[in-house]
Chains A and B, each alone.
Chain A
Amino acid sequence: MNTALQTLIHTIQNHTTEWYRVLWGGETEFSSLPLLHQKDFIDTPLSKRRYKDEKSLVKIVHTPQGPFLSEWSFADIAKEEWGVLSERPFVYLSDPHGAIEKSMWCYEQNRVPLIGEKNPDIATVAAKKYQIDSLIADPLSIAKLLPFLESRTEKLAAITLVAEVFSPQELLHLSKYADVVRLVLAFSETGVLGIAQLSNAPMFILPANCFVENVSDGLVFTKTTQYVTPIIRYASGISGEVSEGGRAFTVKTYA
């Protein structure tokens, strides 16, 4: 087992917070640890699944089954690969909690971001003023920016789309607006699970602190960082194929 993962599991097993110990029962073998589901986040108050105290941002995650809190330390936000470094990033996301998070990621990379107000007309006035050179958005929000993107004479350095679900065919047209279009697969509670260049059949590369198993339930992700709520064997509900080397995956169906 990966050393970082061993250390994390050891920390969790000896932590005062009981959440994972209760979830795991007495199980110690990694591949036999019960899977974590989003429902476990919904059913457990944040205060019962916190494994560290750091300066942090708490987000509200809305799901059809109800909302829950997801807490991320700013140090951990900094390490997620939310965007491509540029001088004047623009963050325009449908989820205002995610927008604050990705904007703080920019600050942690020593970049001053422009966070877009919800109204796309107001957002694009500011984007023009700031002369943005990259964009972090999602498939829904970017649709509102199309007139602005169309009006630009220069390509952006990068567009990053963050989402739980992608329809790549519907996004291919975005390639004309940026040198690079990346897809970042993520859930609010997990952080980045995979990053792909936009194509017909994107191949998602796992971040360095993440690995994936392909089990009967679908793709199961584990991250070796001790987040406020660590991610150990998270059942994503995504079905897909894992590459031979185990560091990449493609998606057949999303959750």
Chain B
Amino acid sequence: MSILERKDFESVAQSTFKDLANRGARPARGYSIRMTSGTSVDGPLTIVWETKYTAQGLSQGAKCFLLLHGLLTVRLGNVLHMMTIGAEEVRMLVLDNADISPEVCALLLDFLPDHIYSFPSFLTQLAPQLDRRVREQVLALGFGGAGLTQAHYDFFAHWFPNAKMRVVYMSNETGSISDDGCGSLPRNHYHPKPTVTVDIGEVDEDGIGDLYVSTRLTERTTVNNYRIGDVGRWAEKKCACGKEKMFEVLGRRGYDFIKLGSAILRQEECDRVAELCEDLFEDYLLEASVETKGTVILGKVRLLVYRARGAFTKTDIEAIVSRVSTNLFLSYTKTLADFVDTGFLLPLEVVPQEEPFVKGYKNVRLKQIAQ
């Protein structure tokens, strides 16, 4: 199988621009120019979507649509799409980060969105500032792109008690990959969109492998077996809705999902344990690498920790090592301490930092260090 890598996507992107230039009588509204956010090696990509192939349909029938997203190209693409799938007289409000203030939140009492499509982190900032009457009117929350953590689900269920939540798995390169969700899917599980082929390749002993996506971007441009950068596995059971094909997305390889042999480091789990250690440190970065000792390859986890309130003592460091090692699950049943005991991982190394961490894109805290 020939795999299309991120570094080779530029030729696909160029092809989509040619298709746009040759659109002929096809209306402009059928196309949008997208930029990716550039989390991968080569920086942002500019690409054209023909929206009938790429768009999601989460906010069908919305009357008052509130959109929260960082990228302007995504905001515009969604406004354009809502012209087609929203109600006949749909009204749309697109918020910017700079808009979030008590005064603007008060204005939303005058708009009363029934559908919100958002990036999770954006909505977590906004939700607590919204009047209860605004939040109770929301019937649907839609999220595209990265999945939601359990903490997100609980948070949004609390703040928007009447809203159904749906997540579409998608990327800025390919558009939507999953369908709009059946309502029965477990968290971070998706059904492939009927027009998209999802394959999982280079599968390990746990059934986990790289996700490859084949889809159409424009009338003339398709991508085949694009390694999207996420890892996942096929679900063993059928979905409650009856659809057979269901896949689970586990994270972004090397960013919020790192595998050291059979030990899996996931940012969601690391964040959970970090909360348990709030009395010990305020922020962290986790580095994972592999070391060779003689003929043995060992995994190594290094936890960089920071707190504003003062230097770490030896006792603090020992407490962090103990608490993180015994609480951080790296498989369904085994903690980091278990992996150390079986000789697969080196003992956790904790390294205090004197300066706060520079926040990266999506607040990713995991880093895979190359050998």
Contact = CB atoms under 8 A, between A and B. Distances in A.
Contacts, number: 107
Given A55-B88, A56-B92, A117 B33 contact: no
A68 B92 CA distance: 15
A58 B46 contact: no
B111 A122 contact: no
B110 A45 contact: yes
A67 B20 contact: no
Interface stretch (B93-101, B128-136, B329-337): B93-101
Max count, chain B CB within 10 A of own CB: residue among A46, A69, A115? A115
A3 to B, nearest CB: 27
Contact of B104 (A46, A53, A56, A67): A67
B92 A58 contact: yes
Interface stretch (A96-104, A173-181, A229-237): A96-104
A112 B22 CA distance: 12
Interface residues of A, number: 40
A100 B101 CA distance: 21
Interface string A107-126: 10111111111100010011
A31 interface: no
Interface in B72-116: 72-73, 75-76, 79-80, 83, 86, 88-96, 98-99, 101, 103-104, 107, 109-111
B107 A74 contact: no
B92 A111 contact: no
Contact of B46 (A47, A113, A129): A129
B71 interface: yes
Interface of B: 17, 20, 27-29, 31-33, 35, 44, 46, 48, 71-73, 75-76, 79-80, 83, 86, 88-96, 98-99, 101, 103-104, 107, 109-111
11 contacts: A46-B111, A47-B110, A55-B83, A55-B90, A69-B107, A96-B72, A96-B75, A111-B28, A112-B48, A114-B33, A115-B76
B79 A100 contact: yes
A130 interface: yes
A69 B99 CA distance: 12
Contact of A100 (B32, B94, B111): B94
Residue picked from B29, B72, B88, B99, most chain A C-beta under 10 Å = B72
A66 B103 contact: yes
A97 B96 contact: yes
A60 B46 contact: no
A216 B28 CA distance: 46
Contacts of A57: 79, 91-94
B31 A71 contact: no
Contacts of A54: 89
Given A46-B110, A55-B88, A60-B95, A118 B72 contact: yes
A54 B63 CA distance: 11
Contacts of B101: 67
B76 A71 contact: no
Contact of A130 (B17, B83, B96): B17
Contacts of A118: 72
A130 B368 CA distance: 35
Interface string A31-67: 0000000000000011100000111111110000011
A69 B110 contact: yes
A60 B93 contact: yes
